[in-house]
């Protein structure tokens, strides 16, 4: 018999217990039909509990960019509250001074990231859900996504429409360009559309046919850009077949 244990449990203010880490192990116990599981109860403040929970989640082998972004944000905010308000000379909105230095730098050392990379990940939390999902699905690269995060919600949705219309995602250069226009107060829907219409390496080729009756008959093995040649050859073959049929009827 295997013994599964939750990692940490915490007594809440209302007398109940809160599971901090080990949620998947708890679920495994439920699926295995076990009614009890071993837990370790710890006295933790809310911020200490957040830190333990985030550290546990970051140990997973596969973590989506969005999960890492919100985990870093929660961890950093908890560290800032523990350390107190940052001094006026600290200009960064996502960092404060700890006993060892800046909180973003200390967090970076804990998770093996630079303080700049920590800030980049936290920027992803400013993306609208649809674009953040595209980052998780690797449809939008990480660095362009960071630059896009500086756009307003309305501008991001305009960009989303432009991406759909042009069947393409912004390159880093295009994302930086949009951010610059935004900072200058010049990023209109027309400007976004114009930028997204620029030729670039990741521009997807437009489908040769829009009629679904045609596209569904083209084998997926046909390389992109050769659909027209395939349809022409198919029609030529069909025409020869019709001509043979007519000859036999005579």
Nearest CA-CA partner of 111 in 101, 125, 121: 121
121-166 residue pLDDT tens: 999 999 999 999 999 888 899 999 999 999 999 999 999 999 988 8
35-53 residue pLDDT tens: 777 777 666 556 565 555 6
Q: Give the pTM.
A: 0.56
Domain ranges of the chain: 1-44, 46-126, 128-203
CB neighbour class for 3 (10 Å; exposed up to 12, middle 13-18, buried from 19) = exposed
Residue 10's φ and ψ, nearest 5 degrees, are -140, 135
How far apart are alpha carbons 62 and 138 in whole angstroms? Answer: 14
Q: Tokens 């880490």 appear where?
A: 21
Architecture, CATH, for domain 1-44: Alpha-Beta Complex (3.90)
Above 70 in pLDDT, residue 204? no
Average pLDDT over residues 45-72: 68
């Amino acid at each position: 018999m295997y013994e599964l244990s939750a990692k940490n449990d915490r007594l809440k203010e209302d007398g109940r217990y809160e599971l901090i880490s080990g949620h998947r192990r708890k679920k495994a116990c439920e699926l295995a039909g076990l009614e009890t599981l071993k837990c370790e109860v710890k006295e933790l403040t809310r911020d200490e509990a957040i830190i333990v929970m985030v550290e546990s989640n970051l140990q997973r082998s596969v973590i989506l960019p969005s999960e890492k972004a919100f985990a870093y944000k929660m961890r950093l905010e908890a560290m800032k509250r523990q350390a107190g308000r940052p001094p006026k000379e600290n200009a960064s909105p996502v960092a404060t001074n700890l006993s060892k230095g800046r909180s973003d730098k200390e967090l970076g050392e804990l998770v093996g990231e630079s303080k700049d990379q920590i800030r980049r990940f936290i920027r992803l939390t400013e993306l609208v859900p649809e674009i953040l999902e595209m980052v998780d699905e690797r449809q939008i690269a990480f660095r362009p996504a960071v630059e896009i995060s500086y756009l307003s919600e309305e501008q991001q949705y305009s960009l989303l429409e432009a991406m759909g219309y042009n069947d393409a995602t912004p390159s880093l250069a295009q994302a930086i360009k949009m951010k610059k226009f935004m900072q200058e107060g010049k990023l209109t829907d027309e400007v976004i559309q114009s930028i997204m219409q620029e030729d670039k390496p990741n521009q997807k080729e437009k489908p040769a046919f829009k009629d679904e009756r045609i596209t569904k008959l083209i084998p997926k093995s046909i390389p992109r850009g050769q659909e027209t040649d395939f349809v022409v050859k198919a029609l030529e073959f069909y025409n020869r077949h019709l001509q043979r049929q007519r000859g036999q009827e005579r």
